[in-house]
Structure formats: C-alpha cells, structure tokens
Amino acid sequence: MSEQGGVTSEVAMRTWVAPGRVNIIGEHTDYNDGFALPIALPLVTRCAAEPDGTGRVRVESRQRPGESVDVALGDLARVRAELPSWARYPLGVVAAFAGRGHRITGVSLVLDGAVPIGAGLSSSAALSCSVAIAVRDLFAPEVSDRALIDLARAAENDYAGAPTGVLDQSAAVLCTPGHALLLDVREFHAGTGGYEQIPFDLAAAGLDLLVLDTGRPHALVDGGYVRRRAECEAAATALAVPALRDVDADAVVRLEDLLLRRRARHVVTENARVQEVAALLRAGADPRGIGPILLDGHASLRDDFEVSTTALDVAVAAAAEAGAHGARMVGGGFGGSAIALVDSEDADAVAGAVREEFARRGFLRPRVFAVTPAAGAHREP
C-alpha cells in the first residue's frame, strides 16, 4: 500500500452518484426485521471511476486532498487495519465484489461527497453505494440491485466495521423522486419483494421537509448503537421469537427486564407508526396528518430507546412550537439531525426559531435546509 499526494485526472472517467437519506419514520427497526419509510436526499456522493487493468485500487477524495490510497487487489484483506477510516468504505466495496468472485482488473476512484458526515443522513451509505454502482457497471453488470445493496452493506459491516442494517443502502439504491420507500426488511432479505414506492409529493401539498442538523456528529462505530442492537436481540430471545418484528404490545409487557421492555416497546410501536404513515400517504391523505405520528416517534426514541440528545430534543420542540406539523430525530441517534414537516410559507420562521433557541442555549448554530424526495444511485449522463 502507498499513499501519495495529488489528484487523479478525471479525463475519460465516468461518474456515478448515490444519495444520503432520511427516514420519514422507522428508526432502529431494520435490524429487527421490521419496517421503515425513507426518502433519498438531493445531497449525493459522486464517484468518478475508470478501470485501468493494473491489479490495484487507487482511491482519492476531494474532501481529503493529498491523501490518496493505492492498494493491490490481493492485499485488500491484509491491509484493512492500516487504512484510514474513510478509505475502508470504498475499498471494502471492491473487496466485497472480489470476494464474491467478480473479476476486478484494477480501478481508480475519485470521490466527492456532499452529504454531511455524522449528521445521521447516511453519508457512509452514499459513499459505499456510489462506489458499488460504479464497480458494478464497470465490472459486473449482471449484479442485481438487491445484490448490489447486499454488497454495499457487507462492505460497511465487514470491512469498515459499521454495524448497519440494510436500510441505508436500500434507500440509496431504490428510492425514486417524489416517493418514500416502504421497506419490509424481512421480505426484502427473503427476496420476495419487500419494498413499495409510496407517493410523497411535498411541493404539491405546499409543504417543506426541513433537516435540522445539530452539528453534533454521531458515529455508528461507537458503542451506543451496538448496545441497542444487543438489547433488541436479548429482548427477542427472552420472548422466544426470531426478531422483535414478531411481537405485539401485549407480548412486550411480559418482559420482566424493564430496560428490554422499553427497547422492545419502541420497536413494536415504531413498526406500527411506519405502517400508519404509509397507509395515510398511500391513500392520498394530506401529508400534514402524519405530523403527530412523527412527534410520537421522537418521544419513543427519546424515552424508550434513549438515543436522542438534548440538542435533538430542543430542535424538535422548537420546531413544533414554531408551527411545524411534526418533527423527530432521524438516524441512529446520539447526535446528528432532526426533521420537521412544515408549510412552505412557514419554513423560514421555523428555521429561525430553531436557530434562536440554539443560540439562547449556547449550542452550536444548526444547519437547516429543505429536502425533497430524490432519485437513488445512478450513473450521471
């Protein structure tokens, strides 16, 4: 392995993109075989790629000038621990393809990410999926979208060490403009469908979806996320079911361990909230009607799952008090972002109220921006 300065010429390189995501509803349900309802963001990671026949993988990032990484394909497994953390995601994707028998002859990758890191918007999945779709198109066009998602997830889990479920990669690949993606994780893993495009046209309803980035990053490789997964598994074991998807509220109250009861209650009620929101949107109801469900979801993440933070709670409360129809934290928690569903004419007022409350409390100035449901991963023209 060698690291060099400079940036590879992108002459003759083609470019692929993959988006970040937010869940409208459905946090910490994917690794419990449950349901989620994400949208893709207009914020993307770009991967310019070119096969070169050298037997090596060269990776550069516009966000890390002068820090390129160059590894022989045969050394990918051996050098993993020596790599900078950012490089493990793209190199893990190449390793996953090679490990499943796809012939990679050598490739140069230049990355450029616009998804905020640590904001709970799945910047890592955007990175992994942009590389995955580029590698697929260049070397393994027979790979299906479902297999592509699994390759990107394996890269994050096994090579980068991020214990994600399949939600983030599914959203990055499968989402479509103007829709939310209803994901049934168990059915998706079984290969029997598992996803549905649900209409979510914000502009037609006169609505904006604001992202409220608290500026306090989270990291899935930290211990909190891993502990929550372990607690959910322990609760499922105690209830003698394969996953918490398989229980209802009546079963949850049988858990003697109060901590496990709270964790399971969040998952069970969150799955119900996903299905309720999807049913309302599918039926063409006014999206404003999902606002109270979003607030309930935040309360569950705060109280039962205990993954919110003071800054996230303040963002949600300030947005709601300023007129948002609903608001909730998004992502794995322990930092990151919230969302707020607002009338378009009130977006500036809600954003201002959140900023003012953060300033009053001496918090970092939040980054606030509106998003619309965007396209999944694709090659740019």
Instruction: Encode pLDDT of 318-332 as tens digits.
Output: 999 999 999 999 998
Instruction: Encode pLDDT of 211-249 as tens digits.
Output: 999 998 765 545 788 899 999 999 999 999 999 999 999
Region of residue 146 (phi > 0: left; psi between -120 and 50: alpha; otherwise: beta)? alpha
For residue 300, the surrounding DSSP H or E stretch is helix 291-303
pLDDT of residue 219: 57
Whether 168 is catalytic is yes
pLDDT of residue 12: 64
pLDDT of residue 22: 96
For residue 210, the surrounding DSSP H or E stretch is strand 207-213
Instruction: Encode pLDDT of 351-380 as tens digits.
Output: 999 999 999 999 999 999 999 999 999 999
- Tell me if 309 sits within 8 A of 334, measured CB to CB: yes
pLDDT of residue 30: 95
Amino acid, single-letter form, for residue 70: D
Q: Which domains does the chain have, with CATH numbers?
A: 14-198 (3.30.230.10), 200-371 (3.30.70.890)
Mean pLDDT of the chain: 94
Percent of the chain with pLDDT over 90: 90
Instruction: Encode pLDDT of 160-191 as tens digits.
Output: 998 888 999 999 999 999 999 999 999 999 99
Amino acid, single-letter form, for residue 17: V
Q: Band the pLDDT of 9: cuts 50, 70, 90.
A: very low
d(CA 178, CA 191) in angstroms, rounded, equals 25
| Distance spanning both ends of the chain, measured CA to CA | 33
For residue 109, the surrounding DSSP H or E stretch is strand 107-113
Instruction: Encode pLDDT of 79-110 as tens digits.
Output: 999 999 999 999 999 999 999 999 999 999 99
Q: How far is CA 55 from CA 15, 19, 75, 98, 360, in A?
A: 21, 29, 10, 12, 56
pLDDT of residue 218: 63
Residue 10 above 50 pLDDT? no
Q: Which of 30, 33, 150, 168 is catalytic?
A: 168
Half-sphere exposure at residue 238, Cβ-oriented, CA atoms within 13 angstroms: 19
What one-character-per-residue DSSP string does 17-39 give? EEEEEEEEE--S-GGGT-EEEEE
Instruction: Encode pLDDT of 240-273 as tens digits.
Output: 999 999 999 999 999 999 999 999 999 999 999 9
Count the helices and strands in the chain (H runs, E runs). Answer: 11, 13
Residue 4 above 70 pLDDT? no
- The length of the chain in residues reads 381
d(CA 91, CA 300) in angstroms, rounded, equals 37
